[in-house]
Amino acid sequence: MFEKVMSLAKRRGLMWPSLEIYGGIAGFYDYGPMGCQLKVNIEDIWRRYYVIGEGFEQIQCPHVATEPVFQASGHLGAFSDLLVECTKCGEPFRADHLIKDKVEKSDGLPAAEIDALIEKHNVKCLVCGGKLSKAVPFNLMFQTSIGPGGKRIGFLRPETAQGMFVNFLTLYRFCREKLPFGIVQLGSVYRNEISPRQGMLRLREFNQAEAEIFVLPEEKTHRNLPAVLDDKLYLVPAHGEKGEYTIKDALKKGLIKSEIVAYYVALTARYLLEVGVHRDKLRFRQHEDDEMAHYASDCWDAEANTSFGWIELVGVADRTCYDLESHSKSSGQPLKAFIKFDEPKVEKVTKVVAKPSVLGPLFKKDAKAVKEALESMDASTLAKKGPLKVNAGGKDVTVPADGYDIVEKEEKVSGIWVTPHVIEPSYGIDRIIYALIEHAFFETKKEGEPYMVLRLRPIVAPIKVGVFPLMPKDGLSEMAWEINEAVKAHDVRTYFDEGGTVGKRYARMDEIGTPWCVTVDYESKTDGKATIRDRDSTEQVRVEIVKIPDTICELLGGKDFKELLKG
C-alpha cells in the first residue's frame, strides 16, 4: 500500500523523498505542486477552526533557539532515544526497534534492560551481522552554532510550542491581560531520528500546527462545550472499556479528565473527519500513566488506522503549569497572570521586606534585583527565618537572615498572580496528509489495467475542476478556456488540459483527486451545454455552460452530485 501510494504521489507531484538526484537522504520529503496545495488547504481549514473559530492569535518564531530554552523545556535532558551502533560497520540503530518483537512493549525500556535483551536474544547488526554496542541515549535535537567561535549553541526547535511559552508575557499583554487566550503557530519542526525508515511517518523535518491555550487552573472548561456534548467518538481510555462514547458520557464516566480537554478532543475529531480521515479508521487513545510526558496530566492521541497500523496524528494534552513555571525559574521572569477579584479583599498577609542597608553593601549593583526577587517571594511558604536562596535576574544568590524581615500586615488585595495552565492540541500535518491520502486511495481496473483514484474530499483537493475541450480544435478549446476562466473567477483552482485522449485526462485528474471534470464537445456548440463528470461515481450530467461556475460552487458547498442527475 505504502509503495503504491508513494509512487502515485511522486508521479503526480504530491510528494517525494528529498534530494533524490544526490542519492536521497532518509527522513526528508519534498512537497510538490499538488502536495503543497493540499497542505495549504489543510492548514487553511486548521486556521478556520483555531484562528477564526476559536479566536486564537497566530505568531511566528524562529526555527532556531538557544540552549536555555531547551534546558527549561526539558528537551536537553529528556528528548532522546536509545542508540546502539554496530561495533564492526558502525551502522546506527534505534535500540528499542531492534527488540520490538522480543517483548510486549519495547519503548521506554531502560538501557540496561535493552542491553540484556540484545544479549539474551543474540541480536546482531542488521547490515553486517556484527556485534552491537551498549545502548546510549542520543539527543534528538539538531544542534548548530550561532555566530563564529562555536560558543553559542543553538538547536532546531523540536516543537513550535516553546516559542509561545517564552513569549507568554508579551502575548498576555497583547491579549489585554485576560484569560483564557490561545496562541497558535504552524511550521517546520525537527527531530534528528537515529535511523528513520517509515517514509513520511518518521521524518527528521516535519510540519506542526499547534495551539497553546492559557487557562486558569480551576477553569478547565470551554464556553462552546455544549455544542460538542453529543459528538460520538471511539475512545481507548487508559482505565476503562474501549468503545464508542459521546463526549457527555466520556466526561460523566471520568474517562476524559477535564471539560476543556474533552472539547478539544471533539474539535480535533471534527477537523480530522472534515479533511478526510475515515470515521471507522479514527480513534482517540489516552496515554497510559507511564507513557505520559513528564509535564502532562492528561493526554489523548488521535490515531488513524493505516497500512502501518494505528498512527498518532494529533495529541491533545493538558501540560499543566509545567512549561511556564520552568521558563519562569530558568529566566528569573515571573510568567504569571493577574486575576482581579470582583472587589478588593482586606487580607492579613505575610510579606518579605528587604533591608537595603544590608543588601546594598553585600550585592552592590545586583542589590535592586535581589530586593525585587525577595519581595516577590510567597512569604507564607517560608517555614522560618534563615538564609534564603533567590534568583536575582538569572543569578542564584543567598541572602543572609538579617537581609530581610518577615512582616505581617493587613492589606487591600485586588487580586492574585497565578501561573496559567496550558492545554495543547498539537497536530502533525504530514501524518494527517499521509493518512488521508491512504484513506482516499482506491484501486480498480480499467480495460484490464490498474486504475487509481484519490477520493479526496473536495474541500482539500488541490485542483477542484479539470476543464477540457474534447479536441483542441474547431473552437472547442476557446469554449473550454472561457469556462475555465469563469470558474477561476470564483477563486476555484482549475486545471485546463487539451493534451491526449479525454480518458487519459480523466485518469490524471482522478489520480490527484480532482472531484469534477468539465468537458466541452461538439454538441456544446449547438446546445450550449457541457458535461460535468463526477470522480467517485464517474456519472456525467450535462449542464448549461453559463450555469457551470455556480454549479461547481454549489458542489463545493456540499450539494450531492446525484441532485444534479435529477435535473
* Residues between 130 and 159 that touch a copy of itself (CB under 8 A): 138, 142-149, 152, 154, 156
Query: Under the criterion CB under 8 A, does residue 23 sit at the interface with a copy of itself?
Result: yes
- For helices 2-11 and 429-440, angle between their N-to-C axes, nearest 10 degrees: 100
Task: Name 560's Cβ contacts closer than 8 Å, sequence gap at least 6.
Answer: none
- Tell whether residue 195 is a contact of a copy of itself (CB under 8 A): yes
Instruction: Compute the distance between CA of residue 201 and CA of residue 275 in angstroms, rounded to an integer.
Output: 18
Query: Out of 6, 8, 9, 65, which residue is the one contacting a copy of itself (CB under 8 A)?
Result: 65
Cβ pair 14, 32 in contact under 8 A: yes
Contact 156, 66 (CB under 8 A): no
- Residue 85 vs 301, nearer CB to a copy of itself: 85
Distances (CA, A) of 335 to 365, 422, 490: 24, 12, 47
Residues in CB range of 109: below 8 A, 6 or more apart: 96, 99, 103, 117
When binding is defined by CB under 8 A, the residue of 361, 499, 558, 567 that contacts a copy of itself is 499
Binds a copy of itself by CB under 8 A, chosen from 8, 9, 42, 69: 69
CA-to-CA distance for 360 and 333, rounded, in angstroms?
A: 22
| Nearest distance, CB of residue 457 and a copy of itself, angstroms | 21
Q: Judged by CB under 8 A, which of 2, 188, 310, 492 binds a copy of itself? A: 188
Q: Does 171 bind a copy of itself (CB under 8 A)?
A: yes
CB of 174 to a copy of itself, least distance (A): 4
Could you give the residue ranges of the DSSP H alpha helices within 175-280? Answer: 247-252, 259-275
Query: What is the smallest separation between the CB atom of 168 and a copy of itself, expressed in angstroms?
Result: 8
Q: Per-residue string for binding with a copy of itself, 385-404, x by CB under 8 A?
A: ---------x----------
* Residues 6+ positions from 416 with CB-CB distance below 8 Å: 338, 339, 341
Rounded-to-integer distance, Cα 358 and Cα 347, Å:
29
Judged by DSSP in three states, 82 sits in strand
CB of 511 to a copy of itself, least distance (A): 12
The residue among 92 and 110 lying less far from a copy of itself, judged by its C-beta, is 92
- The yes or no reply on residue 92 touching a copy of itself (CB under 8 A) is yes
Beta-sheet pairing, 181-190 with 57-58: parallel
Task: Supply the minimum distance, in Å, between the C-beta of residue 237 and a copy of itself.
Answer: 36
Distance between the two ends of the chain, CA-based, in angstroms? 39
405 to 424: interface string for a copy of itself, x by CB under 8 A: --------------------
By CB under 8 A, is residue 174 in contact with a copy of itself?
Answer: yes
Kind and range of the H or E element at 312?
strand 309-320
Of 59 and 292, the one with the shorter C-beta distance to a copy of itself is 59
| Pick 200 or 265: Cβ nearer a copy of itself | 200
Does 557 contact a copy of itself by CB under 8 A? no
Q: In a 10 Å sphere around its CB, with 0-12 CB exposed, 13-18 middle and 19+ buried, how is residue 233 labelled?
A: buried
CA-based max dimension of the chain: 101
Residue 421, phi then psi, degrees to nearest 5: -90, 160
CB 271 within 8 A of CB 429: no
- Cα–Cα distance, 403 to 394 (Å, whole number): 20
Comparing CB distances to a copy of itself, the nearer of 209 and 302 is 209
- For a copy of itself, the binding residue among 198, 246, 330, 391 (CB under 8 A) is 330
- Smallest gap from residue 19 Cβ to a copy of itself (A): 6
How many residues touch a copy of itself (CB under 8 A)? Answer: 77
| Least distance to a copy of itself, CB of residue 37, Å | 7
Per CB under 8 A, the list member of 90, 217, 226, 415 interacting with a copy of itself is 90
28 binds a copy of itself (CB under 8 A): yes
Give the one residue of 8, 9, 29, 323 binding a copy of itself; rule: CB under 8 A.
29
466 phi/psi in degrees, rounded to 5: -90, 140
Q: Does position 85 bind a copy of itself by CB under 8 A? A: yes
Distance CA 97, CA 460 (A): 35
Which among 185-193, 372-380, 452-460, 537-545 is the span making contact with a copy of itself, rule CB under 8 A? 185-193
Q: What is the separation of C-alpha 435 from the centre of its chain, rounded to a whole number of angstroms?
A: 14
> Least distance from C-beta 74 to a copy of itself, angstroms?
16
Map the footprint of a copy of itself across residues 35-64, applying CB under 8 A.
35-37, 39-40, 57-64
Report the nearest approach of a copy of itself to the CB of residue 36 (Å): 5
Least distance to a copy of itself from the beta carbon of 225, Å?
A: 21
| Binding of residue 310 to a copy of itself (CB under 8 A) | no
